[in-house]
Amino acid sequence: MDEAEIISFIEELESSAKALKQETLSLCWYMRGGVTYDEAMMLSLEERNIIGDIVKSNMEATKKSGLPFF
């Protein structure tokens, strides 16, 4: 790899790390303390995706029912 490719690769890794942190912190917020940041970081990609799907489903159900989410 040349220098430009290395810099590009590092920037991609930084972007991926930031996205993972954003997703993990959002998950912790939605879980309202049911899972800590450290616990969430230990989840596999599949587990995070499943929990994310459950959160989305619950949010949609809440919107349809008119009940408060918060």
Tell me: the pLDDT tens digits for 18-55? 999 999 999 999 888 899 999 999 999 999 999 999 98
Residue 31 amino acid letter: M
Number of domains present in the structure of the chain = 1
| Closest listed residue to residue 53, CA positions, set 25, 23, 16 | 23
Confidence of residue 69 (pLDDT cuts 50, 70, 90): low
Cα-Cα-Cα-Cα dihedral sign, residues 13, 19, 23, 29: positive
**Which structural domain, as residue segments, surrounds residue 51?**
3-65
- Asked, for residue 70, whether it belongs to a domain, the answer is no
The answer to whether residue 27 sits within a structural domain is yes
- The model's pTM is 0.75
For residue 1, the model assigns a pLDDT of 86
The encoded tokens of residue 51 equal: 């929990």
